[in-house]
Amino acid sequence: MRHDSRWKTILPEPSAPKGLIETLLEEVGPHQEPPEPKRRGRPTQILQAHLGWAMFWCFLQGWHAQLDLWRQMCTERLGGFAPVKVSDQAIYKRLATSGVQALRLVFEWISLCLAERLGPREKWSLAPFASAVIAIDESKLDQVGRWLSGLRDLPTGDPRLLAGRLSCLFDVRLQQWIWVDVLPEAMTNSLVHARALLEKVPSKALLLFDLGYFSFEWLDELTRRGFFWVSRLRERGSYRIIHVFTQKDGYLDALIWLGAYRSDRAQFAVRLVQVDRGRRTHRYLTNVLHPDQLSGAEVVRLYQRRWDIELAFRALKDHLRLNVLWSAKWEVIQVQILASLILAQVFHAQQVEIAAQTHVEVFDVSLDLLIRLLPRKLLAGLSPSQFVAEHGKTVGLIRPHTRLVYDLPEIAYHEIVWPPSDIVLIREPRYAHKADGRKKPVSPN
């Protein structure tokens, strides 16, 4: 009788070349288990790290039932973890109480290992003065099926059918997720959870974010806490120029006050980089006030790299099938998301390593094709580096990227007009608390 799982494994046999997942798994062992508080009773037989790795391993092999997890943990050695003889009910109980935390532990451990592995390859070409370049954003999850009794009466398109949202930090240099919070509320302003994410951001990091985070109070808080940032100016956002560094040929670099009215104004002066492209004018903001530390052209290029997190969301939803949720139960949704994130970390790392080996830019390596082709080649007995070297350009795995590249002026040092030494760059703030920039609808009554 065949196994009850009808999905084919996407991992190589032991004799095949080892991929990055297997290499990391060999390094894991019980010593990664965080110490548990002392308590009465029998010691824990199922370690949290063992449970997390087993869940991820079963996810890779297309598990269909919790029995698959029990069989795997009872009969097979997994990395540094020996099989543990327990009943299926013991696995179910541990899964219910610690399943999400166990998978979160694996995500954090793999992220740490990959950051150490990729760190030496980074040339620090992006904002070398910053400790990290991090994009912050949120993404709504797709709708769940109306399988649960509480969801059956909801009409199609009801926001309560949305599975929740991801609130994330993404390392642009290393192409790795730094932190991901899975939140049940799908329709909430981005700034509500943004301050909690700041606790995971290293000091002196540079943050990239879109207009969903535009708020005078938020921008001032980032500056006050010692973070660098790059964003866009909201359309029709008010400001007042206090000094012009450079102005020529549709290009402006200046210091400004955000908020031209006494009722709503920011505390710290910021830098405006304005670029005319045809009939459109694009305005970028940063709190890096010195053009010799960060040129206007680099400000624009950095904001373009904010798109990296959008591509990472696309990889999760389209390429790793996170747009198809297994269940409407919140615990199962979290497990699927965390397992997909762990797999995404590995593929992003492979993308960076292949780019370094072939001396191309990261986005010249197709992440879509990498996800589709790499597991098959491992099953066929080919190592990733061997396959890329022989067939990478032929099959389109390595090809020129199609991202927009703007021709921006490079300003010479002698063209910059420096501000007087007594210029005032801090003032008393007033916040109108219009976080989303939209007017509230007028009640018909």
The CATH code of the domain that includes 228 is: 3.90.350.10
> Looking at the domain assignment, is residue 10 inside a domain?
no
Tell me if 444 is assigned to some domain.
no
- Judge whether residue 171 has pLDDT over 50: yes
Asked if the structure places residue 213 within a domain, the reply is yes
Task: Evaluate if residue 13 carries a pLDDT over 50.
Answer: no
- Percentage of residues in the chain having pLDDT higher than 90: 32
What pLDDT digit, counting tens, does each position of 250-266 carry? Answer: 899 999 999 988 888 99
In angstroms, how far is the first alpha carbon of the chain from the final one?
Answer: 70
pLDDT computed for residue 224 by the predictor: 96
Q: What is the DSSP letter of 186?
A: -
Nearest 5°: the CA angle 435, 441, 442 is 130
**What token pair was written down for 72?**
């795997």
Instruction: Answer yes or no: are the C-beta atoms of 263 and 190 closer than 8 Å.
Output: no
* Greater pLDDT, 222 or 68: 222
Looking at the structure, do residues 173 and 232 belong to the same domain, yes or no?
yes
Which residue did the predictor score with more confidence, 40 or 333? 333
The pLDDT of residue 124 is above 80: no
pLDDT at residue 5 in the model: 39
Check whether residue 247 and residue 116 sit in a common domain. Answer: no
Helix (H) or strand (E) holding 23: helix 20-27
Q: Which H or E element spans position 119?
A: none
Q: Is 62 in the same domain as 114?
A: yes
For residue 433, tell me if it sits in a domain.
no
Confidence of residue 142 (pLDDT cuts 50, 70, 90): low
According to the model, what pLDDT value does residue 1 have? Answer: 39
Strand order, beta sheet including 251-258: 176-183, 165-171, 133-140, 206-208, 228-232, 280-286, 270-277, 251-258, 239-248
Q: What is the bridge-based pairing of β-strands 133-140 and 206-208? A: parallel
Q: What is the mean pLDDT of residues 100-107?
A: 88
Q: Indicate whether 84 belongs to any domain.
A: yes
The listed range with the strongest mean pLDDT (86-90, 332-336, 345-349) is 345-349
Return the pLDDT at 163: 58
Domain boundary, last residue among 320, 352, 380: 380
Closest CA to 369 of 381, 361, 377, 357: 377
The total of structural domains in the chain comes to: 2
Q: Please give the Cα distance from 328 to 205 (Å, whole number).
A: 37
DSSP string for residues in 380-400: TT--HHHHHHHHTTTTTSB--
Please check whether residues 205 and 291 belong to one and the same domain: yes
In the structure encoding, which two tokens stand for residue 262, read together?
């006494």
Shared domain check, 264 and 368: no
What is the distance between the alpha carbons of residues 108 and 103, in angstroms, rounded to a whole number? 9
Instruction: Clarify whether residues 138 and 52 are in a common domain.
Output: no
Task: Assess if residue 346 is contained within a domain.
Answer: yes
Domain end among 380, 406, 440: 380
pLDDT band at 392 (very low <50, low <70, confident <90, very high): confident
Under 8 Å between Cβ of 12 and 377: no
Q: How confident is the model at residue 231 (pLDDT cuts 50, 70, 90)?
A: very high
Q: Is the pLDDT of residue 158 over 60?
A: no
Structural domain range at position 374: 20-121+329-380
pLDDT at 390 (0 to 100): 80
pLDDT at position 191 is: 85
Q: What number is the average pLDDT over the span 127-156? A: 71
Please tell me whether residues 364 and 287 are part of one structural domain: no
Distance CA 30, CA 47 (A): 8
pLDDT digits (tens, 9 = 90+) for 192-219: 888 999 999 999 999 999 999 999 999 9
Mean of pLDDT over the chain:
80
pLDDT surpasses 70 at 122: no
User: Which among 321, 350, 380 is the end of a domain?
Assistant: 380
Residue 74 domain-assigned? yes
Q: What is the pLDDT of residues 81-94, one digit of tens each?
A: 888 888 888 888 88
Co-location of 201 and 237 in the same domain = yes
Q: Does residue 259 belong to any structural domain of this protein?
A: yes
Selection from 301, 296, 337 nearest residue 320 by Cα: 337
